[in-house]
Amino acid sequence: MKVTVFGVGYVGLVQASVLADVGHEVCCVDVDQDKVDRLNQGLIPIYEPGLEPMVRHNHDAGRLTFTTDAAAGVHHGKVQFIAVGTPPDEDGSADLQYVLAVADTIARHMDSPKVVVDKSTVPVGTADKVRQRIASVLKERGADVAFQVVSNPEFLKEGAAVADCMRPDRIVIGSDDEVAIEVMRELYEPFNRQQERTVIMDVRSAELTKYAANCMLATKISFMNEMANLAEKLGADIEAVRRGIGSDPRIGYHFIYPGCGYGGSCFPKDVQALIRAADGIGHDAKILKAVEQVNDDQKTVLMRNIRRHFGDDLKGRTIALWGLAFKPNTDDMREAPSRVLLAALWEAGARVQAYDPEAMEETQRIFGHRDNLVLMGTKEAALKGADALVICTEWQAFRAPDFDFIQQELRQPVIFDGRNLYDPERLAKRGFHYYGIGRGLSINQE
Ligand SMILES: NC(=O)c1ccc[n+]([C@@H]2O[C@H](COP(=O)([O-])OP(=O)(O)OC[C@H]3O[C@@H](n4cnc5c(N)ncnc54)[C@H](O)[C@@H]3O)[C@@H](O)[C@H]2O)c1
């Protein structure tokens, strides 16, 4: 099938390459000339495991092309995916300007029937807006071309995006049009071979499904962080509690890890957008507001612990920071807890020696060159002469470090662990001051 994907970001690029990989002919359109040029040279703008070889392979085979020529893109695909960003507006609601700009573009150039697919995460009612936009531009043009608008939200996880798209848990298709549903079924047929994963529903339910999924996951995290803060004050160990509740299949082990807050391009923005959407219809989304508040607060937990240990003034202190990306296996720094920590450390006068396996370039791009941030080539180098080690991201490479080496390199044996990677008792026996999240032991040490 001929498919066009507007927007080659995390979602668009991954979805496009996976569709090309099963044999569809995919044309990607982006407004970012530099990104398109780089992709045409085989340079992948983001880090995502397995993505680079897949893009190269399908690009070389001619099934995956990249262009800024929107007219050619519209002409190419029977299916037109809209996979552009929906960043927060000033008030936190989803900004639809990019989605609607693509709708305009499609309407301006289309001269054959199209199925237009909202892949971006968009508020309930957006498919209607896209439909109206396309219809009004077609009317202006005096063109009579059939089209349907389908909602097909994306559930991929950054860091496992290719695998998620290859073997999705579910493929949600929101439409009440039989023709459009059949086209979508045919498009996704290769992904349904082992079992049927398609869930067909009306458009509005599909749009809400995406927000409900992300808000549920964010709720689990904030709930667990609230329990962690309670555990800390009550002298309990949240890690024991986590195992104790996770064994109940109604709760499960997934997404109940306490930590220094959730970040990324989706949870913070989608929770906020649903709060605003609810406000807009006079509904006070109390749970979601609490989820957001707990998370904002949780992003300051590492700094609170650092202050507890060193006091408020960190002038002359050097902090070794492991992990900058908002989660492992990505270079994405959007809304990362590390950014809140960095700002607070700098404000208190500290200097940071940081290391991340993938997000160093992105960090450099965001913060540029500054005296109080030194990006180190290895996790070991980041330790040298630092007053303490802080862990912000649970990369695999940080899970079993050489603690003797850490002790030898740090000026003081202090670890602030934002992801509960280590065993507090074992570290205490080695002579470390260890601050985890929600672990009574760190309090008992004082
Ligand atoms: N990143 C994720 O993990 C994830 C997961 C599921 C859903 N989503 C949703 O998918 C959407 C895209 O997210 P993303 O992370 O891929 O965004 P992104 O910012 O990485 O990429 C968006 C791309 O769209 C391009 N673009 C903007 N306007 C355009 C236009 N008029 N025509 C063509 N291209 C245009 C930008 O240049 C950019 O390359 C968002 O709604 C997001 O909420 C993201």
Ligand 1 centre to CA of 200 (Å) is 24
Read off the pTM.
0.94
Q: How far is the CA of 6 from the centre of ligand 1 (A)?
A: 9
How far is Cα of residue 166 from the mean position of the Cα atoms in its chain?
18
**What is each CA distance from 324 to 237, 264, 343, 375, in whole angstroms?**
26, 11, 13, 11
Q: What percent of the chain has pLDDT over 70?
A: 99
Alpha carbon distance 58, 53 (integer Å):
8
The DSSP annotation for 16-56 comes to: HHHHHHTT-EEEEE-S-HHHHHHHHTT--SS--TTHHHHHH
Which atom of ligand 1 is the closest one to the Cα of 332? 1
DSSP-assigned states of every residue in 342-375? HHHHHHTT-EEEEE-SS-HHHHHHHH-SBTTEEE
Average pLDDT of the segment spanning 301-317: 97
* 119 CA to centre of ligand 1 in angstroms: 9
Q: What is the pLDDT of residue 374?
A: 98
Pocket test of ligand 1: the residue of 8, 33, 84, 170 to mutate, having most ligand atoms within 8 Å of its CB, is 84
CA–CA dist 227, 284 (Å, integer): 24
Tell how far the Cα of 193 is from the centroid of ligand 1, in angstroms. 28
CB of 13 shorter than 6 A to ligand 1: no
Tens digits of per-residue pLDDT, 148-194? Answer: 999 999 999 999 999 999 999 999 999 999 999 999 999 999 999 88
Residue labelled with tokens 């992990």: 323
Q: Is the pLDDT of residue 446 over 50?
A: no
- Say if residue 226 is exposed, middle or buried (CB neighbours under 10 Å; 0-12, 13-18, 19+): middle
Active site residue: 27, 28, 215, 266, which one? 266
Ligand 1, atom 44: closest residue by C-alpha: 11
Q: Is 165 a catalytic residue?
A: no
**Local confidence band at 440 (pLDDT 50, 70, 90 cut-offs):** confident
Could you tell me if the CB of 31 is within 6 A of ligand 1?
A: yes
Residue 326 Cβ < 6 Å to ligand 1: no
Q: Are the C-beta atoms of residues 442 and 229 closer than 8 Å to each other?
A: no
- Does any ligand 1 atom lie closer than 6 A to the CB of residue 32? yes
Contact between residue 158 and residue 264 where contact means Cβ atoms under 8 Å apart: yes
Q: How far apart are CA 164 and CA 266, in angstroms?
A: 16
Provide, rounded to the nearest whole percent, the portion of the chain with pLDDT above 90: 97
Q: Which of 118, 165, 143 is nearest to 18 (CA)?
A: 165
**Exposure of 77 by Cβ count < 10 A (0-12 exposed, 13-18 middle, 19+ buried)?**
buried
For the chain, the average pLDDT equals 96
Ligand 1 in reach of 80 Cβ (< 6 A)? no
Instruction: Ligand 1, residue 101: give the atom nearest the CA.
Output: 31
Q: For ligand 1, is residue 267 a contact (CB within 6 Å)?
A: no
DSSP state of 141: H
Indicate which atom in ligand 1 lies nearest the CA of residue 153: 7
Residue written as token pair 């507007």: 6
Q: What's the CA-to-centroid distance between 84 and ligand 1, angstroms?
A: 3
Residue 131's nearest CA partner among 153, 147, 112, 109 is 147
Mean local confidence (pLDDT), 213-240: 97
Q: Is the pLDDT of residue 112 over 80?
A: yes
- Kindly tell me if the per-residue pLDDT of 443 is higher than 70: no
Confirm or reject: Cβ of 35 under 6 Å from ligand 1.
yes
Q: How confident is the model at residue 216 (pLDDT cuts 50, 70, 90)?
A: very high
Distance between CA atoms of residues 44 and 236, nearest Å = 46
Nearest CA to ligand 1 atom 10: 120
For residue 120, pLDDT over 80 is answered with yes
Q: Which of 398, 302, 386 is nearest to 351 (CA)?
A: 386
Distance CA 51, CA 14 (A): 7
The whole-angstrom separation of Cα 317 and Cα 333 is 24
pLDDT band at 441; cut points 50, 70, 90? low
Decide whether any atom of ligand 1 lies within 6 Å of the 86 Cβ. Answer: yes
